[in-house]
Amino acid sequence: MTLDTEEEWQWHESFPARDFTLDNIAELPKIQQLCSRHGARTTFFTNRAVLADIDARAVILDLAGRAGVEIGMHVHPWNTPPIDESREGGAYESFLLNLPARLIEAKLAYVYETFEQAGLHPKSFRGGRYSSGGVIHDFLRAKGFIADASVVPFTTWVDPGAPDFRHRGNDPVRLPPRREDERPLWEIPLTVGFTRPPFERWAKWHNRIKHSWMSRTRLMGLALRLGTPKWTWLNMDFTPFEDMLALLTVLRRMRPPCICFTMHTSSLVAGKNPYSRSDEDVDRLYARVDKVLGLLAQWEEFEPATVSEVAQHLEANCHASDRHQPA
């Protein structure tokens, strides 16, 4: 279970460097209590805006001391110093990888130092707006990170400069060490799929419609009514329980190495993002988390893990597999 732990602002308006709120952070112990009740282990991908606030930082440090909780690193470039207002402010620049290399490195270093000053030593990362790779991976490797959970399989967005993961599936990818003093870095994707395999085939069909003139027609809705598999993301913010159940049932038969749920902590307070517009939306979110995690707690073949624990497990099994291969 992963949570993008961040400030609140109106997503559709701008990417503010200031004038945001952090009301949702006070709700984190409540969602953690719910996760713990079902045995789920959580990774809070936390950004600089949260750690820079005294009260919000205290909540994060309290969570960090609990069993089954990991605090990962998250970066929103638009409010992370150094801020170059001549280069930043639009949708293109909201994706960290689109900035100049030196500016990327400086922002990552600033956030990492903020973590260290708080006594936190993150080993997992998620890019703001899922932006990662390239210079970002170089930084993560240098700091000893073992996991990057930024990939959203079979997906891209219409914003200019957005990551394009349409070619990526749900399987984790190992980026091997390039030097003797370097650790491998595992890409642990968020889980996206369809209600019927093979996912790759349906993803091509889905993206062909979604990213063409056909998206302006009723073709997608018609196809779903005719029984075409539905694109489904294990995202607690907005995906109905019934849709997640359908995907989880397929995944249970497929037996993937891992599945990754996600949500934004700003969804825990009404009116703070497009997903939780009312108290009823927040109540539905908690009910969804309760039902999904309660279901998985009954499936003995699934074992809860934080993102770093998934990477450690995969790495250990990778070496075990190597030892059993013929020379």
Is 26 within the bounds of a domain?
Answer: yes
**What range defines the domain where residue 240 resides?**
2-195+230-323
Domain count of the chain? Answer: 1
pLDDT value for 10:
84
pLDDT value for 215:
45
Q: Which percentage of the chain shows pLDDT scores above 90?
A: 79
pLDDT value for 216:
45
Is 313 within the bounds of a domain?
Answer: yes
CA distance 325 to 327: 6
* pLDDT class of 40 with cuts at 50, 70, 90: very high
pLDDT value for 19:
84
pLDDT value for 209:
61
Q: DSSP H helical segments within 65-169, as ranges?
A: 101-117, 135-142
pLDDT beyond 50 at 314: yes
Sign of CA dihedral 191, 193, 198, 201: negative
pLDDT value for 320:
59
Residue of higher predicted confidence among 221 and 280:
280
Average pLDDT, the chain: 91
DSSP conformation class of 8: B
Is 170 within the bounds of a domain?
Answer: yes
* pLDDT class of 229 with cuts at 50, 70, 90: confident
Is 213 within the bounds of a domain?
Answer: no
pLDDT value for 327:
34
- Yes or no: say if 269 and 24 are a contact pair by the CB < 8 Å rule: yes
Is 217 within the bounds of a domain?
Answer: no
Is 207 within the bounds of a domain?
Answer: no
pLDDT value for 323:
44
pLDDT digits (tens, 9 = 90+) for 3-22: 999 999 988 778 888 889 99
Residue of higher predicted confidence among 229 and 303:
303
Residue of higher predicted confidence among 173 and 205:
173
Is 106 within the bounds of a domain?
Answer: yes
Q: Which range (190-194, 226-230, 231-235) has the least confidence?
A: 226-230
68-84 CB burial, b ≥16 within 10 A, e <16: bbbbbbbbbbbbbeebe
Q: Which percentage of the chain shows pLDDT scores above 70?
A: 89
Does an H or E element contain 289, and which?
helix 279-296
pLDDT digits (tens, 9 = 90+) for 52-108: 999 999 999 999 999 999 999 999 999 999 997 766 778 999 999 999 999 999 999
pLDDT beyond 80 at 326: no
pLDDT beyond 80 at 182: yes
Is 105 within the bounds of a domain?
Answer: yes
pLDDT digits (tens, 9 = 90+) for 140-179: 999 999 999 999 999 999 899 999 999 999 999 999 998 9
CA distance 295 to 297: 5
pLDDT digits (tens, 9 = 90+) for 92-116: 999 999 999 999 999 999 999 999 9
Q: Which range (112-116, 186-190, 194-198) has the least confidence?
A: 194-198
Whichever domain contains 97, its CATH number is 3.20.20.370
pLDDT beyond 90 at 240: yes
CA distance 6 to 44: 9
